[in-house]
Structure 1
Amino acid sequence: MLRLVLSLLVIAVIVLVIVRPGLFLRALRGKPRPALEEDPREILKRRYAAGEIDEDEYFRRMSGLSQDW
């Protein structure tokens, strides 16, 4: 019985390593999965840093995000 359980465990680990190496490595490292939704402030910071928006637009949008509606 113990051999069967160990065999199944080894097979499961092999399948995880082959099929989903990213998921397996993240689990070993303890890193959380990336969030599906990004924080709007982080998006604005990235866009400003990339030069997609100017400083005035950045501050206008940031102030809009910080207001309680």
Structure 2
Amino acid sequence: MKILLYDHIIQHDLTFRQVAELTGIPRSTVSDIANGKTSPTMNQMEKLAAGLQITISDLFESDYK
């Protein structure tokens, strides 16, 4: 399963800092998730979706959506 956070950030011309402010997730964690260095927890996925005003399923690519 691929996390599409980086794609969303680029498409909406956001910075990691802006995403951190919108979601309450530390900037370094946003960066790690976006760059594939760590997998987000479900709590982080919920915060990302809520802060970015998208659905959780918009944040990942899967054949089983």
TM-score normalized with structure 1 length: 0.25
Give the greater-gyration-radius structure (CA): 1
Q: Which has the higher strand share?
A: 2
Higher helix share: 1
